[in-house]
Amino acid sequence: MATNPVRLCRHAIALSLMALFAFSLPLLRAQDREVSDTSFKFSTVDNNLLDEVNEFDRQLDKKGLVFHDPSVEQYVAKIGNKLIANQPRLEHVEFRFRILRDPMVNAFALPNGSIYVTTGILGVLENESQLASVLGHEATHVTNRHTYLENRSIRKKVLAINILQGVAGAMPGGTVFGAAVALGAGMSAVIVNGSIYGYSREKESEADQRGFELLRRASYDPRAMPRTFELLDERLEFEPIETFYRTHPKLEERRQIATARLAGLNVMDTRTGTESDFLEHVAPAIRANVELDLSSRRARTAVSRASRLTKWKPDEPKYQVLLGDAYRSLGAKDAEPTDDERGRHGQAEHRKLYFKMTEQEEQAQLLAKPSGIATRNTNLDKAEKLYLGAIEADPRLADAHRGLGFLYEQQSKPMDAAREYRTYLTLTSGTSLDRLRIERRLAGVEKALLPRASTEQ
Amino acid sequence: MPNPRFLFTAVMFTMLNASIAFAATAGRTFMSPKLEAGEMGIHSACMMPAEGKLSRLGMKGREGMSKESEAWSSALDAVVAGHLKATGIEIIPSGLAQEDLERNEELQRTVLKLQAKYDSVSSQIERHPKDTRKDRFTVGDEVALLPCTEKADILVYVHGQGQVLTGGKAAFGILIGGPSSSMGFLKLSLVDAKSGDILAYMRLVNNGKFADDSEKAYGKELDKLFKKMRIGNAPKKKKD
């Protein structure tokens, strides 16, 4: 029988790649075999990752993304330190509890001990023990070296996938085996991506379990944990990125597990902390977050958070202005999503709308219907009342005059708008960054008034 | 004797993959009608801090490149500013350098706010860049919060996103399939410094050593695109 050299060569390649594939299978299975313990040995890969996260930490600070306010920072650090008290000292870990300027509801831990809670998550939580449950969960990711373990696991998986792709690519096309491997490699890539954006389910469960223990040990009310999961499930508007903290089926499952853990527990003499005390400490961060929400097309969230602040301190003019700004930005939108919008279909529609239309186009579409006009009028009326209330409490509050100016301009009342802009400019006298914008707006409304004045003459 | 069909396919496949490895830059501009019609005279610009993000893709997955990203951001800033200057556009000192922002928290907050504003429209711009021609996009008049916009005609947002392939990954891509060369995107948005309207959106892509030499990677293409936009000293469109 004559031997075809090309066929021989193809068989040799296929056989060697199949051997590589067989070698790669244990790598795929190896992902969660490692256990976290105190005798963690740093490899070059881990040291490289540590350098990378230290740099990441520095970058966050440098870009102004870390929220600095001594009272908020001290409060978060105090709770965090209480949770990790009596923990053995770990190599290359220095716990730091920090706040990130980010409207996304999220918290994460870096393996060097930096734990970040976003201003967005502070806006959702109600009390100290809920914040402690979030910090306890994140601290466990650090103490159990989850990032390092996950990184090692991902690297093994990616190597295996590259080999799988190699096998699939070199296989003669059209065979069932080749197609199945190609499909498998493609699906594995999705799983890999899932791991990259969050830890594995096992590690997250471990963090919940250990976080729960930390919470109890620090004498916090463990009932805070299931309640925290409920709060994190709040969906006021579409979010372009879904983090682990907001993935609905997982959240519900975690809430159920946390509730089951409560069975038979004595919760007497535990600390919960009141909402008022919590807000007393974190209000500056929530306020900063509302401003970010307003810049990020999240007016509903802004209304919800600013409402919390005004309910807590109804006579505080700066919170009234904040809520006024939020209602004004809401325009023709309802403050709460309808049941339809909350449903699966509604959320998918919202997603489409978010990517299809700009904020202005969305408003214009709503205003094309009478219900949209009515909602807008209601929202603007609420905003006006809030601004006027703030001015009554503090007539020199420049931001209230600015908000009122914007509102009157929206309502096509140029004379009133001009009056408020002038007051704002008088009150800020060269110190505000917003002067240039208001001067330009004033010039615009005065120009609009000119033809009217000449007609009246 | 080797099967000619098999040989032909193998050679073509390898050549196709290898051809991708040759460095080249391509770019596209989408202009608003105001700019297209030459109604606006653009002679000065204020630069937002450039945001460049690089990652390294190797056989063992993706790694961040924080330090390199920082250097690339500065390089992109310098390249874009340099080529704007070359077209006769005055770059207004923005006071938005990293050191300035670290000293001025209010200004830093304002920059974050304007980045957030831009991010909220960028998802539409990225998906429908052609709609820049319909005057659809704006970041709003909050651009005036930056003191440099007082004297500037435009505010320039510079975003870079690059994936650097390791030698092993590139070779793997050429032989087996998949990405076989590094790829760096440079995205520019020219924003009206008064109204906040997006006047132009530009997208450039290079598959060479864009992270090491941004000037070589994007310089020529930038000149070409700026010339097409007739900004600065470029001759204006003749009116019929």
Q: Does B237 fall in a domain?
A: no
Which domain does B26 fall in, by range? Answer: 4-229
Q: What's the pLDDT at A249?
A: 60
Query: Does the structure show a pLDDT above 50 at B196?
Result: yes
- CB under 8 Å to B206, separation ≥6 — which residues? B23, B24, B25, B183, B184, B186, B217, B218
pLDDT at residue A27 in the model: 44
Q: Is B41 inside a domain boundary?
A: yes
C-beta neighbour count of B131 within 10 angstroms: 17
Q: Minimal Cα–Cα distance from B230 to chain A, Å?
A: 27
Residue B234 lies in a domain: no
What mean pLDDT value characterizes chain A?
Answer: 82
pLDDT grade for B216, boundaries at 50, 70 and 90? very high
Would you state the pLDDT for residue A167? 45
Question: How confident is the model over B74-101, as a mean pLDDT?
Answer: 90
Per-residue CA distances from A306 to A212, A233, A392 (Å)? 30, 19, 19
Tens digit of pLDDT for each residue in A258-303?
Answer: 999 888 777 777 788 899 999 999 999 999 999 999 988 899 999 9
pLDDT at A12: 61
CA distance A436 to chain B (A): 6
- Give the start-to-end residue ranges of the domains of chain A: 24-262, 275-456
A155-159, A357-361, B161-165: least confident range: A155-159
Percent of all residues in chain A with a pLDDT value above 70, rounded to a whole number: 78
Q: Give A357's contacts in chain B (Cβ within 8 Å).
A: 124
Rounded to a whole number of angstroms, the CA Rg of chain A reads: 28
What sign does the dihedral A70-A75-A76-A80 (CA atoms) show?
A: positive
Q: Is A159 in contact with B172 (Cβ distance < 8 A)?
A: no
Q: What phi and psi values does residue B84 have, to the nearest 5 degrees?
A: -65, -45
Considering only A7-11, A216-220, A434-438, which range has the smallest mean pLDDT?
Answer: A7-11
Q: Shortest Cα distance from B113 to chain A (angstroms)?
A: 6
User: What pTM was estimated for this model as a whole?
Assistant: 0.82
**Shortest CA gap B231–chain A (Å):** 24
pLDDT one-digit tens code per residue, A43-86: 888 888 888 888 888 888 888 889 999 999 999 999 999 999 98
Interface contact A158-B121, CB threshold 8 A: no
Fold type of domain A275-456 = 1.25.40
Amino acid at site A296? S
Whether B153 maps to a domain, the answer reads yes
Chain B neighbors of A59, CB-CB under 8 A: 66, 70
Instruction: With CB atoms and an 8 Å threshold, state whether A441 touches B60.
Output: no
Q: What is the pLDDT of residue A400?
A: 97
pLDDT tens per residue across span A12-21: 666 655 555 5
User: What is the average pLDDT score of chain B?
Assistant: 85
> Residue B8: what pLDDT?
66
Maximum average pLDDT range among A97-106, A171-180, A247-256, A392-401: A392-401
What DSSP string describes B32-96?
A: -HHHHTT-----EEEEPPPEEEEEEEETTEEEE-HHHHHHHHHHHHHHHHHHHHHTT-EE---S-
Residue-wise over A405-415: b if at least 16 C-beta within 10 A, else e?
bbbbbeeeebe
Best CA proximity match to B225, nearest among B21, B28, B3: B28
Q: Does B194 touch chain A (CB under 8 A)?
A: yes
Say if residue B238's pLDDT is above 70.
Answer: no
Question: Which among A6, A158, A288 is the nearest to B60, CB-wise?
Answer: A158
Q: Would the ipTM clear 0.90, i.e. be above it?
A: no
**B125 token code pair:** 């711009």
Q: Within an 8 Å CB–CB cutoff, is residue A281 touching chain B?
A: no
Structural domains in chain B (count): 1
**For residue B229, what pLDDT band results from cuts at 50, 70 and 90?**
confident
Task: Tell whether B210 is covered by a domain.
Answer: yes
pLDDT at site B22: 60
| A62 has a chain B CB within 8 A of its CB | yes
CB contact under 8 A, A433 and B124: no
B111 assigned to some structural domain: yes
* Tens-digit pLDDT profile for residues A369-417: 999 999 999 999 999 999 999 999 999 999 999 999 999 999 999 999 9
Q: Are strands B183-192 and B198-206 parallel, antiparallel or unpaired?
A: antiparallel
The per-residue pLDDT for range A296-338, each reduced to its tens digit, is 889 999 999 999 999 999 999 999 999 999 999 999 999 998 8
Judged by CB atoms closer than 8 Å, whether chains meet at B66 and A56 is answered as yes
Which residue matches tokens 């924080």? B66
State whether residue A351 sits within 8 Å of chain B by CB.
no
Residue carrying the six token digits 């929220």:
A67
CA angle (A297 as vertex; A295, A303 as ends), nearest 5: 90
Instruction: Nearest by CB to B112, from A52, A56, A64: name it.
Output: A64
**pLDDT for res A195:** 31
pLDDT tens for A196-248 read 355 777 888 899 999 999 999 999 999 999 999 999 888 888 776 666 666 65
Give the CA angle between residues A87, A88, A93 to the nearest 5°: 95
What's the longest Cα–Cα distance across chain B? Answer: 75
Sequence letter at residue A88 = P
Please tell me the distance in Å from A296's CA to the nearest CA on chain B. 6
* Residue B14 clears pLDDT 70, i.e. is over it: no
Nearest to B116 among A48, A52, A292 (CB): A292
- Coil vs helix vs strand at A34: coil
